[in-house]
Amino acid sequence: MTVRVTLSDAPFDPYALLAQFARDAGGDIGAIASFVGQTRATSADGAAISAMELTSYRSLTLRSMEDIAAAAATRFGLTHLLLLHRVGRMVPGEPVVLVAVAASHRRNALQAVDYAMDRLKSEAVFWKAEMGDFGRRWIEPSDGDAADLARWNIGQEEHDNNGRN
């Protein structure tokens, strides 16, 4: 199993990375699934966003991402997993996150991407702010994010191991 976790302050091309991921995964897999998240142009309340900024405490953030990746790889029997997340200032339309997985079966691959994103959104150690005409404001996980996470029935031990409770 190959797991690659990257925290980057540089822009990235998710489609070039996905093509390389598919080549690296090889031909003996049944499915590759991916998700690319990008900066939105509007906030949850509909206000225009000119930029989003993600900050991290690098070692803590990487550890939380690595724990999520390891849990996804184990839970869904993945052969390969790539988890890349940006930090820094990003403008609308700019890629923020890439999750790519390879598995023997389609369902495992699709569920693994969904699981990893739900955990990243709620548990990965990032501080997010959005900027616009309203100034700068912090973004907190929403009730919807908590509901998304709850559907995975994550045990307390698995949750505790990711560094945030």
What the chain holds in terms of domains, given with CATH numbers, is 2-156 (3.90.1170.40)
Model confidence, pTM: 0.90
DSSP string, 15-59: HHHHHHHHHHH-SS-SEEEEEEEE--SB-TTS-B-SEEEEE--HH
pLDDT in tens, the chain (165 residues): 899 999 999 999 999 999 999 999 988 899 999 999 999 999 999 999 999 999 999 999 999 999 999 999 999 999 999 999 999 999 999 999 999 999 999 999 999 999 999 999 999 999 999 999 999 999 988 899 999 999 999 854 454 444 443
Quick one: how far is CA 84 from the chain centroid?
7
Burial class (CB in 10 A: 0-12, 13-18, 19+), 158: middle
